[in-house]
Structure formats: structure tokens, C-alpha cells
A = this chain, B = another copy of it.
Amino acid sequence: MQSVIRVELPEQSYDIAIASGSLDQLGEQCSGLSLGKKVLVVSNPVVFKHYGGIAIASLKSAGFDVYTCILPAGERYKTLNSIQKIYDVALEHRLERSSTMVALGGGVIGDMTGFAAATWLRGINFVQVPTTLLAMVDASVGGKTGVNHPQGKNLIGAFYQPRLVLIDPEILKTLPVREFRAGMAEVIKYGVIWDAGLFSQMEESKRLDQMRYLNEGLLTEILNKSCQAKADVVSKDEKEAGLRAILNYGHTIGHAVESLTGYRIVNHGEAVGIGMVAAGEIAVHLQLWDQESTQRQDALIKKAGLPTRLPAGLDLDAIADVLQTDKKVKAGKVRFILPTQIGVVTITDEVPADVIRQVLHQMQAA
């Protein structure tokens, strides 16, 4: 059974199509979008080995000419250098304005492919086929694309919407456990910022740390409700003028942690988990929400097998410094998304530096 979530935007709306086993209908789904004949599939070696064959066969049988660009896996390759490799392949096969780039991979591949599609010939078609839970529920929806600057995450990029997001939950069966948990961090985020019902459903599940412990109904709910939450927020505020900022819950300190550990020690989801714990504690300090709520949140994060403390050896001054380079800084003030109850958050740039420091100090590895 397929569920379709429509992301309504002023310039270009698109569907998120969620259905088990749908990867082999990729070509068919693309056929309905009036795309040109040429398709460039961008992926990484691991994902491509598992799913490249199915994706390409499906596209070819729908009549597309298919080319590939395989980039090394990992956040540290999310650079302008990788984008240049995509450009080179695009040039080699003479991609045209009507051509399409398909991102077959996780958030890193999706962000880079989207940015390359946004900037090749000033913008060609773009289709997302996310292969991680994180990319399915977050990165592939909403049009944020880009790469890292050596000194900061996602500093270079563009808002650019896909024509289609195709989500096949079957793909998650080969996802490493650690990657699954990383995705759960974003799912928990939607529970805290937007959907108290989803939060409760996850509380009812005995375990959340591996996909095989989730019943199929819960997985479907997780995918649908997360994508719906993101679609709701993005439709209301595509370019992050206001509301959309709530999606950055847990990301302010999360990004700093990722950046300072060179994108190697903790992955994005783990960093967001840590960032949510920090944001929750800050909210308690500022008396925005209560101890019980923050404990419920932290319990869910732990149940998903995610860390709730800072990685060992992180310098608190360095974190404070990196916070100043965050995209969300305005007039020198760091912007925080803080919870007020399960399902509701507020945006503030009035968090005293000593509160941040105190919370981070509590969270240092024992």
C-alpha cells in the first residue's frame, strides 16, 4: 500500500511517495513527471552495491538513459570537491536543463546531489531516493541542499526542491543499527516539536533501538507522521523565515558537536540526540518546561540507543566559539529552539551563556 504526502509550495509542489518495495517502480514514478531522457544517479559504493541495480533497471525499463556518479561515503566527503566530481560527470554525459539527478543514498548524498542539481545549468530536475531512516524522515524532504565548509557544517548551499521523494521502507532492512538509531533521533524530534501522538506511540514501544523490534505498524506511523510533520512545517515556511526554524531543535549544539569532532566520532543523529538533551536541560533551567518532560524525552532518546552525554574530551570553550558561526546566529546572538511541552517548542535567542555552559558541563562524559 502506498501513502502519498503532498508538499505544497508556491513555486513547485511535490509528492513524498511511501511504499514497501517501491524502489523497482522508480522509473515508472519518474515517467509521470515530464523529465528529460537523461538521468544521473548519484550514490555511494555501499548503497549502490545493494540498490543501484534495481534503481537503474527500473529507470532503464521506463526508457531513461542512465549514468552514474559514485562518491565516497561519509559526512567528511560532503564538500565542494565532491560537487565538482558530479559536475564533471554531468558535463561528460552532456546533461541538459531537462535532465535529472537522482540521489540514491542517505543525507550526505541527498544534500550534495540536490546542490549539484540546483547549480548545474542553474538548476535541473532532482529526485530523492533516501536509503537511511534519517534521510527518509528529514534530509530528503524540504529542499535544503548543500555541503560543508572546512570550518562549518552546511554553510554552503541552496534551497532547492525535489520533483519527487520515493521512500521504500524495505531498504531499511540493510541499514546498520547505528544508522537506524541516528534516524530515530530525528523521529523523536518530531514528537517533541510537533506531534505528541507520535511521541506517545514511541513511548509505548518496548524497544526503539533496532528496526526488528518495531512492529510494522509503528514503522509505518514513524515514516508517515515524520514526513507529514516536515511537510507541514516546510509548506508553511519554505525558506526558514520563521516557523521552519523549529526543525533545528537539537541542532544548535548538535552541529557544534559534530563539527568539533570532525564529523567522525558522532554521526548527525547522535549529535541531534545530544543537542536535544542539552536543549531540554536549558529549557528546564529557564523554567520553560518541567523536569518530568525532559526526563520523558531523555528516556526516549536512551531507548533509541542514542548517547545523552557529550563525547569525551570536548572543550566547552570550543563549543561556545563554534556556536557563533552557526547559520542561526543573528546579530551575534545564538538562536535556540526550546521545548515548552511535548509537541510544542519556542524559539529564543535569550539564552545566557552561563546557562549553556552549565548544561554542557553537566553533560560532559563521566
Contacts and interface: CB of A to CB of B under 8 A. Distances in A.
A319 to B, nearest CB: 16
Interface in A81-127: 84, 87, 91, 94, 96-98, 115, 118-123
Interface stretch (A203-211, A307-315, A325-333, A351-359): A325-333
B157 A119 contact: yes
Given A80-B80, A87-B156, A119-B119, A37 B325 contact: no
Contact of A158 (B87, B123, B151): B123
A312 to B, nearest CB: 28
A324 B95 CA distance: 10
B151 A91 contact: yes
Nearest to A90: B155
A91 B149 contact: yes
A331 B96 contact: yes
B11 A122 contact: no
Contacts of A37: 331
A152 interface: yes
Contacts of A118: 158
Interface of A: 10-11, 36-37, 80, 84, 87, 91, 94, 96-98, 115, 118-123, 144, 146, 149, 151-152, 154-159, 239-240, 324-325, 327, 329-332
